[in-house]
Amino acid sequence: MKPLIGGQAIIEGVMMQNGDRIAVAVRRQSDGEILVKPLPARFRFKKLGTIPFLRGLFRLFDMMSLGLRALNLSTQLAFPEEEQMSKSGTFFTFAVAIVVAIGAFMVLPLYLTGFIPGLRLGNSIVFNLVEGVIRMSFFFVYLVLISRMKDIHRVFQYHGAEHKVVHTYEADEELTVENAQKHTTLHPRCGTAFLMTVFVIAILIFSLVGQPTLWVKVLSRLLLLPVVAGVSYEALRFSGRNYNRWWVRALAQPGLWLQKLTTGEPDDAMVEVAIASMSRVLDPEQPADSSSDIAAQQAG
């Protein structure tokens, strides 16, 4: 069975991962040259990362760490003449972004739902369903707004290029621009689809808390986030292995619809960059670790 390869759109490029073979490919803006650099793998929780329902949390941590390193490297390669943000500055920016995201997509929807008459002390499932709809609405509006930004739109186009090249690889086709451009920009193993899974599972798990006071609800949401991540990861693994079943494809469809906001049709130059990254991680001369957990590797 061929390994599943996934990746991530970065600044003016694409990161691909095949086990511990990781490559960052970027088009340098000064002269248009494609630069491809390996990125060392850092799997900090290999043993814990094999335990069902725990591995999702540790896998998510590894992916976030890898994503940050890939973004930093891509900025350095694409804009070498510009002043780069320090590692501490990057970490601080990321930490602030996490806090803002928790406030905007977790605490605020909960707070607003509590103002709806009859819900605060009503059925917990209905309360969490309404809260989940508000949360998804906020996220939808957020994606629509940022997709209109020129720089973000280019990242979304590289996201589409990454998916097209992954589809080409999975179809056992030659990695050419022409072959890749025939494929869709949507992919069932995308991180956007994972977020949709998180939203749905969060509704179910948060409903188990019942209807305590507001501050207890807020605390429970934060404490249950690792549980939500763990269950969502297992759902992603299952769907990735059983995507040939019609009912799995039907359940995954909302995640594909959401990707229409996070991917864009790439031009040929963007696809060339994604192919360069894929080619590097397929190179047998690059180091590989067969024990790496790649069964549910995200495609984007």
For residue range 197-210, list pLDDT tens digits in order.
899 999 999 988 88
Question: How far apart, in whole angstroms, are the C-alpha atoms of residue 46 and residue 58?
Answer: 9
pLDDT of the residue at 186: 94
Check residue 296 and give its pLDDT.
Answer: 43
Residues of the chain with pLDDT under 70: 43-46, 49, 121, 284-299
Predicted local confidence at residue 291, as pLDDT: 34
pTM comes to: 0.87
CA distances from 34 to 6, 150, 236 (A): 20, 21, 33
How many whole angstroms separate alpha carbon 232 and alpha carbon 91? 26
Contact 300, 163 (CB under 8 A): yes
| Residue 295, pLDDT score | 37
pLDDT tens readout for residues 41-64: 876 666 776 788 888 888 888 888
HSE (CB half, 13 Å, CA atoms) of 72? 17
pLDDT at 52: 85
